[in-house]
């Protein structure tokens, strides 16, 4: 039964969850595509950063060479040296005449005697062909190409940085080698550039390739893997770049995890939602079923007394009953059936009032014992008539509770009614009262059919009737206990049921004691 009921739920779950899974896979795929796209963008960013840095170096070096080219032979050597030395990274300039091979070294006094000339000679001799090519460029298009070299030259333990070029042209053409301190140049011209580019988006570093010496970094601690490339005109130095917020892969991975969590949560919410909707549909269906049962039960319950009343009334009307005794018996039956009908209608009215929240209670302080006695006395004739042994066992003292008298009678009658209805073989009812945990209680105990444990919490649902075998032989509306529960709630009371199948049940109603009682 349960298995079948779950099938539609599983189907609904599948119908709704498959699109979510498909969407999830699609989303993850698109993330991978995004990742590729981001990598590309990142690569482009890296290129443009490197381009911009290279451009800065290029501009600076061109400034210097243009100045040298412009002033060569125009100003005095001293003025020329002054112009060259305005840059703090300048070490020296070696010039070799292209025509007569005479050479000259311009250098600041502190670098004199450093042997720059020997280094220049060796650079020149290793790059003669390069110089010839530079001269051709210069003469053909007045294009001053600057040549770099990643060859290492050490001078007094310090690595020398240099680039070479051709100044002037024709007769006055000179090969030039410019010695400088690349670290100082980077510090002076690239560091501001770095700071401007990096902002909060990038981590930029500049490192000497040969020994890993960090010339500059926008952050103090460098870790992780960096994309790096040598600077064009300073090939012995490289620029490292990274995104400040971690690598693209990390960002994409983060987003992937977030998306997965969001999707997971969405699925959970959907599953819960579906289950809730399904349950409420199931409950609605059950309620509809119960209502239908109710209508058929009630119709049956009304039809039986009506038929009986009709039959006996007709017999009486036709004067077919001879003896007074028989007449009395028939009147008795008619009265009994009318009261059954009245009870039935009252119960339905009581329930519909409760449903419409229109039921009001006129609460007064009453002695529970007295009300029990009252009901017991009224009922005992009925009980005897139906072959019930019955006993009353009241608490020795008055039990004052604040309650609506009519409602109290209604709950007790309901319990007694049930006790009678559901006791077929052993007809024995005990009504008792007592005190427990500062609450007054009244209990109705029968030795009837009992109620299975798993049904106990459902008894009070509206229209609910225990769906086991013979119970359907006993007519009822499934409203009695609903009314009991409602009345008890309205009295801040509670109901306790203990029952053993085949042995009987006890329904215990607890009421708060009236306050003055304790005082
Ligand atoms: P009904 O009109 O069916 O009696 P109730 O709301 O009074 O409606 O009771 C709900 C169901 O609880 C009954 O249909 C019956 O199965 C079960 N029940 C109530 N009281 C007893 C009892 N004393 N012994 C056994 N079953 C009971």
The pLDDT value recorded for residue 415 is: 95
- Cβ of 504 below 6 Å from ligand 1: no
Token pair for residue 451? Answer: 């109620």
Q: Report CA(418)–ligand 1 centroid distance (Å).
A: 6
- Cβ of 480 below 6 Å from ligand 1: yes
- Over the stretch 457-474, which tens digit does the pLDDT of each residue have? 899 988 888 886 554 567
The pLDDT value recorded for residue 519 is: 44
Contacts within 8 Å (CB) and 24+ apart, 380-383: 383/416, 383/420, 383/429
Beta bridge partners of 430: 391, 445
Nearest protein Cα to ligand 1, atom 23:
419
Where are the strands (E) in 158-308, listed by range? 158-167, 174-180, 202-208, 214-217, 227-230, 237-243
Over residues 260-265, mean pLDDT: 87
Euclidean distance between CA atoms 413 and 339, whole angstroms: 13
How much of the chain, in percent, has pLDDT values that exceed 70?
95
Beta bridge partners of 320: none
In which band, very low, low, confident or very high, does the pLDDT at 3 lie, cut at 50, 70 and 90? Answer: very low
The pLDDT value recorded for residue 221 is: 64
Q: Report CA(466)–ligand 1 centroid distance (Å).
A: 7
Q: Which atom of ligand 1 is nearest to the CA of 450?
A: 25
CA contacts within 13 A on the Cβ side of 357: 0
Euclidean distance between CA atoms 234 and 214, whole angstroms: 14
User: Cβ of 24: how many Cβ atoms within 10 Å?
Assistant: 18
Nearest to 69 by CA among 207, 175, 194, 227: 175
Over residues 76-101, mean pLDDT: 86
Token pair for residue 192? Answer: 């501001």
In which band, very low, low, confident or very high, does the pLDDT at 36 lie, cut at 50, 70 and 90? Answer: confident
Nearest protein Cα to ligand 1, atom 13:
465
Substitution candidate for ligand 1 out of 465, 469, 472 with most atoms within 8 A of CB: 465
Which residues, including other chains, have CB under 8 Å from residue 173's CB and lie 6 or more apart? 97, 98, 99, 135, 138, 139, 166, 167
The pLDDT value recorded for residue 1 is: 38
Q: Report CA(422)–ligand 1 centroid distance (Å).
A: 7
Higher-scoring residue by pLDDT: 396, 462: 396
Nearest protein Cα to ligand 1, atom 19:
418
Euclidean distance between CA atoms 118 and 337, whole angstroms: 135
Nearest to 101 by CA among 173, 177, 151: 173
DSSP characters for 260-287? HHHHHHHHHHHHHHHHHHHHHHHHHHHH
| Residue 181, pLDDT above cutoff 80 | yes
Among the residue ranges 190-204, 214-228, 302-316, the one predicted with the least confidence is 214-228
Residue located via tokens 């009837």: 448
């Amino acid at each position: 039964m349960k298995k079948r009921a779950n099938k539609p739920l599983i189907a609904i779950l599948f119908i709704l969850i498959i699109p979510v899974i498909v969407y999830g896979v699609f989303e993850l795929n698109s993330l991978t595509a995004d990742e590729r796209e981001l990598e590309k963008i990142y690569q482009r960013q890296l290129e443009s950063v490197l381009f911009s840095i290279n451009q800065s170096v290029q501009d600076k070096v061109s400034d210097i060479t243009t100045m040298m080219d412009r002033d060569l032979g125009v100003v005095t050597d001293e003025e020329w040296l002054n112009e060259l030395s305005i840059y703090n990274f300048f070490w020296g300039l070696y010039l070799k005449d292209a025509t007569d091979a005479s050479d000259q070294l311009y250098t600041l006094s502190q670098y004199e005697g450093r042997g720059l000339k020997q280094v220049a000679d060796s650079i020149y001799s290793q790059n003669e062909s390069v110089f010839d090519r530079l001269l051709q460029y210069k003469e053909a298009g007045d294009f001053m190409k600057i040549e770099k070299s990643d060859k290492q030259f050490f001078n007094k333990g310090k690595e020398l940085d240099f680039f070479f070029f051709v100044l002037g042209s024709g007769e006055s053409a000179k090969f030039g080698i410019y010695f400088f301190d690349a670290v100082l140049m980077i510090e002076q011209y690239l560091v501001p550039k770095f700071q401007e580019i990096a902002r909060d988006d990038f981590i930029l570093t500049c490192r000497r390739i040969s020994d890993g010496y960090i010339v500059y970094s926008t952050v103090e601690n460098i870790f992780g893997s960096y994309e790096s490339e040598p600077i064009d005109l300073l090939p012995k130095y490289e620029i490292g770049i990274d995104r400040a917020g971690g690598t693209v892969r990390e960002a994409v991975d983060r987003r992937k995890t977030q998306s997965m969590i969001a999707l997971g949560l969405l699925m959970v919410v959907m599953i819960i939602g579906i289950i809730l909707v399904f349950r409420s549909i199931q409950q609605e269906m059950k309620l509809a079923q119960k209502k239908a049962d109710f209508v058929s039960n009630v119709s049956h319950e009304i039809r039986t007394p009506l038929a009986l009343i009709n039959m006996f009334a007709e017999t009486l009307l036709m004067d077919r009953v001879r003896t007074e005794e028989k007449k009395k018996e028939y009147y008795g039956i008619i009265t009994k059936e009318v009261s059954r009908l009245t009870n039935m209608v009252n119960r339905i009215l009581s329930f519909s009032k409760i449903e419409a929240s229109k039921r009001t209670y006129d609460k007064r302080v009453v002695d529970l014992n007295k009300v029990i006695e009252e009901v017991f006395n009224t009922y005992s004739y009925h009980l005897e008539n139906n072959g019930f042994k019955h006993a009353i066992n009241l608490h020795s003292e008055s039990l004052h509770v604040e309650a609506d008298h009519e409602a109290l009678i209604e709950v007790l009658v309901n319990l007694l009614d049930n006790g009678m209805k559901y006791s077929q073989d052993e007809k024995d009812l005990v009504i008792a009262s007592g005190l427990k945990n500062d609450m007054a209680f009244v209990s109705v105990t029968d030795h009837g059919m009992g109620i299975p444990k798993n049904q106990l919490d459902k008894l009070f649902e509206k229209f609910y009737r225990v769906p086991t075998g013979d119970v359907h032989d006993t007519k009822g509306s499934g409203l009695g206990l609903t009314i009991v529960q409602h009345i008890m709630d309205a009295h801040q009371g509670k109901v306790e049921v203990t029952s053993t199948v085949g042995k009987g049940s006890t329904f215990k109603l607890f009421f708060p004691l009236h306050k003055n009682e304790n005082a």
